[in-house]
Structure 1
Amino acid sequence: MRVLIVDDDDLMRAGLRAVLSSDDTISVVGEAADGAEAVVLVGEMRPDVVLMDVRMPHLDGIAATRELSEVAPAVRVLILTTFEDDDYVFGALSAGASGFLLKRTRPERLIEAIHTIAAGDSLLSPSVTRTVIDQMAAAAPPDPAAVRRLRGLTARERDVLVLVARGLSNGEIAAELFVEESTIKTHMKRILAKMDLRDRVQAVIVAYETGLIRPGGGGPAREPARPHEAGGQ
């Protein structure tokens, strides 16, 4: 698993490299001190995962993530931030990041997160998920195209999306709906395909933006999202 570390703090980069060296399946293929350097190195090193700081000179983590999502969409970006209320993170998720963690995260949690991201899943730090999604949803008007795609989901797929937006893992959703975890994974693949979404993070954002679930964890607004579909899929 090839990882690129991007941070303008020399000590932080050294610390991250030391942490990742404890996992034999992870290889740190390079380091960058700003977003512009990161974009260049991604083209040269072809990493699987980029650990991306947010506040950096020349090109910040948001702009770098947005550029990478266009020129190297297969690369997964994991944002590492210092503060739970870092407004920059909201933009980074919209720009295509697959998730984020706080820099104070335990080393073993960081390694687990890299494996999760590399496997094609997405990850949001539990302590900041609600704040990020609530503020993002409050700031963004509903996307009519997303609302139309939402109406193409089956009732069970909407149920799964609601639980994903509430922060449940696939295993927890399976227990909630009394099905196998593999079934939930299948539902998620179909949800992403039907709504033309890249990953779980984008699915959560769309769930809030379309009103399927309300900021603050309120109940789903399924009926307003599909007012003429009684007896539909």
Structure 2
Amino acid sequence: MNIALQRLGHSSVLTDAVDLPGRRHILFGSNTLSWWGIEIPDDTILYNLEAVTPESDWHSEELLELFRRYHVWDYNRHNVAALRAAGVPRVQHVPIGGVPELDRIRPALTQDIDVLFIGTYSAERAAPIEQLQRAGYNAQLREGVWGAQRDDLYARAKIVLNLHGPTIFEVVRVSYLLANGIFVISEKCYYADEEEEFADGVVFVDYDRIAETCIRYLSDHRARAARITAGREIMRKRSARKYIGAALAEPAFTG
């Protein structure tokens, strides 16, 4: 986001401050804003990166009321439809795009992790990992790792899982993996149309077939390499500069 805005000619800074004079703030993590008791300027743009469709845990009247008060950007078209149906008047679809700087994970000397999932623990997420462990594979579920430590784990993994349950596709997480040449197997999407634009670069599979699909791809390096190449190409075509520029030019934003 910051790099895309700069390439569009804007003076953009990355900060955790919400009161910089003379600037319009774009706020990430607005779904947790009520936790901190922070006041934000009236012209703040809330860029929502969480599922807020009715089946999501984040779908709440408190969050919807916050979104009704501000201009909202959302990365997912199903979120946008749900927010409009809930009476959020100023919401735009602003997809997640890439910039070359996202490609920053250095390949590991040895990929000693067969299958990896990074995220909050749940029994559902742990189940395929445990199934693979029982079959003798080095499968890991890790939580609370960020930055360089997280990237080191990604580099060591032959397969990274994307597990979500009944919610929208985590493009934010997966786009970073694809940009860095990480092979991804994802639980099938709740909304089938979300798979289409990523189908060449991501293996989508029913939840109960995750472990067997991992085993199949672990023995097929060429198939993994082909998906990695396709995933990088997908992200090269998804220009963050184009998406942000289009959002800034829309009458919904300028009007």
TM value normalised by structure 2: 0.36
Asked which structure has the greater RCO (Cα within 8 Å, sep 6+), the reply is 2
Larger Rg: 2
